Structure 1
Amino acid sequence: MIVLQASHLKKSYDGVDVLIDASVVIRAGDKVGLVGGNGAGKTTLLKLITGEEQPDGGTIAKRDGLQMGYVSQYVQPDAAMTVYQFVAEAQKPLQQMEARLRDLEAKMADPSVYTSEQRFADVTQTYEQAAHQFEQAGGYAWQTNVRRVLAGLQFHAEMQPMPISSLSGGQRTRLALARLLVQQPDLLVLDEPTNYLDTETLSWLEAYLKHDEGSLLVVSHDRYFLDEVTTQTIALEDGVTRHYPGNYAAYVLQSRLEREQQVKLYEQQQGEISRIESFVQKNIARASTTRRAQSRRKMLERMERVERPRGDGASVRVEFEPRRPSGRDVLQVSNLAIGYDHRTVAKPISFHLERGMRLAILGPNGAGKSTLLKTIVGLLPAQTGRIDWGHHVDVGYYDQEQSDLDDTKTVIDQVWDERSDLDETSIRKALAQFMFRGEDVVKPVAGLSGGERSRLNLCRLMLRRANVLVMDEPTNHLDIPSKEALEQALSDYSGTLLFVSHDRYFIDAIATHVGILEPDGLVKYIGNYSDYREKVAENERMANIELSTASVNERTGAPTNSDLAAHQASPRRRIRSSDVRKLQEEIEKWERTAAKLESRLTAIGMEQSEAAAAQDIDRIRTLEQEREHVEQACQSALEKWEQASLKLEMLQSGED
């Protein structure tokens, strides 16, 4: 069933065409990714679909009663509300239904209702219908769903009573997303939902969206996210849309094959045209062949021409070429403690970089990843420990905050003042590689967009010709073609790379090693992000095997692996399998308890409907009292489940 169909949409601003012929078809359950370069008109298309703006041409048809959720509706929440209140408000219809049930129960408990048999029958029948509607809408589990979504987006129990005014901008964006997910619309429309999410939260969101029964239309530059979630892809280029079945990877393959086929057909036709034109030129003036030449000329005039394949479009061209090679040993970090304002974020951190390594630093938001990079390049002092650079090391640093850009300068002055040894032609050529051409080079830095500032910083970094690049979120604000150009440049780079990124596709393409930053140090893995995930999954499987073995050994009295490991020296705190097992058992226990209580709430709702139909007032009152007790018990079970989950997480990360 089609839930939304937009056909041949047109939209222009100040005479500039943004959308020329854009069409979107979304069926029930479709997960659609909308892709295209910066400025292609993706957000404009979303605004037309959601009704924020009206098209200049074309039509938009929606299924009757379609509930659509768009994240921009909630980006400025009421700061006076608490975290929980703001998200729970998305279930206001259920809250109102629940309030009506309580009101009807109060009426049925009023002795005056018995004075009229008809009045009593009307009230109980109304209650029966309302209770059935409430149960069908999932009303008995709405609070549980709110807390689960909040926890999944890293708003744990201790944060839920906090006022929204105390949250950062990134946290408010996540909160807006939480409210939208709780709302559970028929069609969810998301514009760059992965911003401000760490890898753990991204994984949760991907799993949630994949299993959600509703439809999805999402704009994202996160290719890993698109591959995990989407089942259809719409590419928007030059104001025109093209539809492809499958996720982003499938779209890339199909579009490449399409282009190759288009090139082949174009070249074949051009060869045929050239041969015919040559025949016409040679034979048009000769009496014996002029009729054949005229016939061929008419054939050319009638020929349906194959369109010249479009180029890949404007994109950056990055080349990182070191001025000189570094020594083999590039960097040694030993027992480093990092932090700020007398607060330690992580310690002790130790790792080694050799020439050619590409180490990606991962960790949750707030783990200290940017702090680590700033400490290594000397922008922040180390609290304790050593940072030793190797011989002939030239470091280039890319700051995601772009704090070293001078807003009082123009684009060309920002670059030329740093590379006064180059002439104007060389500077303009370098800027052109990053799509600053003509009048763009005299734009004030203060007026640049986020993507333009990122491209300017990459240009400055390229001109440094460093043999070690330290990069903090280099793909932020870049569109997909620019990310791919950066990936290719870094893949060809002969130097050493230390970088922080939440772009898992980028990490997969670049990293030779992955480092997980934790409060008690950094754990390094060989390979890219996918290799790291496989290793983690393998470790979890081995841990489960060890726990099973430990359980048997405890019953038989045999020593466990953990017992044997206790005799080996280790700089990390030893995690006892029995502690892990107890917490896992506790988590499972509270999960089962919450599930049983939720089932009982649903059953109570059905029993209340039956009691209302039977006009059994005593039974209704008893069930209402039970419902209140079960709701409290369910909430308590969820809180204990979350506390046990946090304890396990802290134990496995080595925290006290």
Structure 2
Amino acid sequence: MLLLQTNDVTRRFGADVLFHNMNLQIQEHGRTALVGRNGAGKTTFLKMIAGITEPDEGTITKAKDLTIGYLAQDQGLDSQNSIWSELDTVFTPLHKMEKQIHDLEQQLGELDSSSEHYQQILASYDTLQTSFKKQGGYEYASRMRGILHGFGFDEDTYDTPINSLSGGQKTKLALAKILLQAPGLLILDEPTNHLDMNILAWLEDYLKSYQGALLIVSHDRYFLDRVVNDVYDLDNKTLTHYTGNYTQFVQHKQERLQAEWKHYDQQQKKIAKLEDFVNRNIVRASTTKRAQARRKQLEKMERLDRPETDDKSIHFHFHADKASGNEVLDVEQAKVGYHEQVLAGPLSFTVRKPQRIGIVGPNGIGKSTLLKSILHKIPLISGTIKMGANLEIGYYDQEQQQLHPHKTVLEEVWDDHPEVPEKDIRSLLGSFLFVGDDVYKVVHELSGGEKARLELTKLSFKSINFLILDEPTNHLDIDSREVLESAINEFDGTVLFISHDRYFINQVATDILAMQQNGIKHYEGDYDDYLAAKDKENPTIVENANTNKGAAGKQSYQQNKEQQRARRKIQRQVDSLEKEMADLENQQSAVQEQMSQPEIATDIGKLTDLQKQLDALAAKAEEVELAWTEAAEKLEDFDQQN
């Protein structure tokens, strides 16, 4: 059943079009993601679907009686109530019904059971009780406790006034409240902000079993992979629909763009040949009819548009002027905290070149404090920290406190490197998408994403052989996260980082440090390897999965991961062969161009040599094309089987 549909929706800002021809469908029980770059208009579109704003053009149709719940990004509860009483307001209709039931019970106790009025009251009582039970009247308290527990609120916090909580806790409660409301269509804009990994795993399982439909905007690719099976890509100011989770969407989009470019290039070559024939033969009496036929063919041809995408992306790399020693960092029996108040410890671990170590653990455990203690920004309460030789440290601060709020973007970088010409500084800033007048923006006026890009700009300019990163993917869109992943993977130095982005951890980590209040434990591998190791340690507990799925769910996930790796390997082979085919075609064209030159056309010796060269290239091209055909068929068979 179709719950909601947008038809050719458009949003304008003056003469500028933010997006147009937006066509989206939400099916009953749908699990849909909306993805796209920061600034593409995702939140604007969600507000239209939620009925908060209206489109400039187009229509949005909804199923009769569809209830919609919309949770904006970082939207927190603002209430004088306690945690329990505020969430309990969701069930006000049930409380009214409950009071009616008690009133009827009192009346029944006062009436003669043989009277007609008693029977009428009893019938009303039975009807009301049935309705009360059907609407969850006997379950709402356990539902509230279950959701509060899932979001990390223990029973001893239920009486806490909401206005005394942190911003992150208020955001979690806003999400808890809307989940309790259980609308037919639940719209979530970045719901994973402020959630640690255990809560994320719980939320994923909760949403997978949610009875209504979901429409989600999130930069958490791991979350999207586990929750959604439908993706709408807001790219080039319009929507394209893909079936599958996020990883499948990335594959399908790449394949679609490759196919579109291939067809476009083929048509362009055909057009060029036809136009060349017409130009050379239209004035010759013997060939003019054929040229006219080719011209008509060109006129009737439906020309393909040049494939386009929002391809603006940051591009950079980290570099080191000198290598560090093998022993980068030794932490022994360290206790971290503030003013003798211990957050965590004792902590003991080592970092060696060229490890890329991710630190994971609950929010508030002291992970950021640990990094600041390593950097001597906060003193250890006890224990020792030993740094290696020849270290050049680069630090990314998630709180962005290293930026000067009253400097411009240009000054923030140039003041650190006054010897560098302005054009070189501006060129570097351009690679992080600070172009034109953007370089004169004042830091305190920048968005979180812009500040993140500015911090990365400064890091890329420095000579670094040891990167220390505190939540580096916060505020970055998905494309920027992928560029950061590539930069880290190409970096020759050592990396120690904190992240809640499980997809990011899987892409870059060689080791995991799991931090708890009483210690820290080392695991080899990425995040999935860490989960597998945890499962072996606790065979009765399957983290990130419902207990009834057991090890089979984990095995299925691992099998899917292996399948994705196998497919990427075949895809790389296909891409490589396509590139080789294009190179050989260009070489053949170059030889043919040489053969057509007047000074060579009359030289039999040179013509013979060039013909041999052309024949060899043609034979090689045929061989490569055969290999490409086999690889492409193998890829097609793989997709059909999986």
Normalised TM-score (structure 1): 0.81
Of 185, 193, 196, 1:195 maps to: 193
SS at match of 1:474: coil
SS in 2 for 1:204: helix
Shift of 1:78: 4.2
Cα distance change, pair 46–222 in 1 and its aligned pair in 2 (3 A): same
Task: Give the deviation of 1:187 after TM superposition.
Answer: 1.1
Indicate whether 1:221 and 2:216 are aligned: no
Instruction: Tell me the CA shift for residue 98 of structure 1.
Output: 1.6
Q: Structure 2 CA distance, aligned partners of 1:276 and 1:115?
A: 97
Q: 1:140 aligns to what SS in structure 2?
A: coil
2:50 aligned residue: 50
Q: CA deviation at 1:287?
A: 1.5
The letter of the residue matching 1:364 is P
Deviation at 1:183, TM superposition (A): 1.1
**Residue 41 of structure 2: aligned partner:** 41
The answer to whether residue 108 in structure 2 is matched with residue 123 in structure 1 is no
**Given that residues 3 and 28 in structure 1 are in contact (C-alpha distance below 8 angstroms), is that contact kept between their aligned partners in structure 2?**
yes
**Deviation by residue 1:83-125 (Cα, 9 ceiling, x = unmatched):** 11111212222222222212222222234xx499443333222
Partner of 2:412 in structure 1? 414
Contact 2:42 2:234 in 1 (8 A): yes
**Aligned-partner Cα distance in 2 for 1:74–1:193:** 8
> Is the partner of 2:157 in helix, strand or coil?
coil
The superposition leaves residues 490-509 of structure 1 with CA deviations (integer Å, 9 ceiling, x where unpaired) of 11011100000000000000
1:372 to 370, 373, 377: 370
2:300 aligned residue (302, 306, 309): 302
Distance 1:497 1:73 in 2: 30
**What's the counterpart of residue 133 of structure 1?**
131
**Structure 2 CA distance for aligned equivalents of residues 523 and 322 of structure 1:** 30
Compared with structure 1, are the counterparts of its residues 484 and 260 closer, same or farther at alpha carbon in structure 2 (3 Å cutoff)? same
Deviation at 1:341, TM superposition (A): 2.3
Q: TM-score, normalised by structure 2?
A: 0.82
What are the superposed Cα offsets for residues 254-304 of structure 1, whole Å, 9 maximum, x if unpaired? Answer: 111101111110111111011111101110111121222122122112211
- CA shift, 1:73, in A, is 11
> Which among 238, 241, 253 is matched to residue 239 of structure 2?
241
Asked whether the equivalents of residues 74 and 193 of structure 2 are also in contact (C-alpha less than 8 Å), the reply is no
What is the deviation of 1:239?
2.3
Classify the secondary structure of the residue corresponding to 1:541: coil
TM-superposition CA deviations, 1:316-344 (whole Å, max 9, x none): 10211112111111111111111012201
- In structure 2, C-alpha distance between the alignment counterparts of 1:228 and 1:13, rounded to whole Å: 36
- Aligned mate of 1:332, from 319, 330, 333: 330
CA separation of 1:294/1:50 partners in 2, compared to 1, >3 Å: closer, same or farther? same
Distance 1:244 1:315 in 2: 22
Q: Summarize deviations over 1:123-169 as a string: whole Å, max 9, x none.
A: 22221111111111121111100110000010111111111011000
For the residue of structure 1 that corresponds to 2:139, the secondary structure is: helix
In structure 1, the residue matched to 2:464 is 466
Are the aligned partners of 1:77 and 1:86 in contact in 2 as well (CA < 8 Å)? no
Check whether the contact 1:74–1:176 (CA below 8 A) recurs between aligned residues: no
Extract unaligned runs of 5+ from structure 1: 545-583, 585-656
- 146 and 73 in structure 1: CA distance in 2 versus 1, 3 angstrom threshold: farther
- Percent same amino acid among aligned pairs? 42
- Superposed CA offset, 1:595-640 (max 9, x none): xxxxxxxxxxxxxxxxxxxxxxxxxxxxxxxxxxxxxxxxxxxxxx
Q: Aligned equivalents of 1:395 and 1:223: distance in 2? A: 29
SS in 2 for 1:268: helix
- Amino acid of the residue matched to residue 445 of structure 1? V
Find the counterpart in structure 2 of residue 608 from structure 1.
none
Query: What do residues 533-589 of structure 1 show as CA deviations (whole Å, max 9, x unaligned)?
Result: 000011112899xxxxxxxxxxxxxxxxxxxxxxxxxxxxxxxxxxxxxxx9xxxxx
Indicate conservation of the 8 Å contact 2:82/2:158, yes or no.
yes
Q: Number of aligned pairs?
A: 543
Match of 2:386 in 1: 388
- For residue 535 of structure 1, what is the amino acid of its counterpart? A
Question: What displacement does 1:76 show?
Answer: 4.9
For 2:29 and 2:518, how far apart are their aligned partners in 1? Answer: 44
Match of 1:106 in 2: 106
Instruction: Tell me the amino acid that sits aligned with residue 190 of structure 2.
Output: E
Q: Deviations over 1:6-45 (max 9, x none)?
A: 1111112233212201122111111101100001111011
What residue identity is the alignment partner of 1:98? Answer: E
Equivalent position to 2:279, from 255, 277, 281: 281
Structure 2 residue ranges without an equivalent (≥5): 548-642
> Contact between 2:357 and 2:495, CA under 8 Å: does it hold in 1?
yes
Flag the 1:289–1:304 CA change in 2: closer, same or farther, 3 A.
Answer: same
- Within the candidate set 329, 351, 354, 1:353 is matched to 351
Superposed CA RMSD: 1.7
Q: SS of the counterpart of 2:487?
A: helix
Letter in 1 for 2:25: V
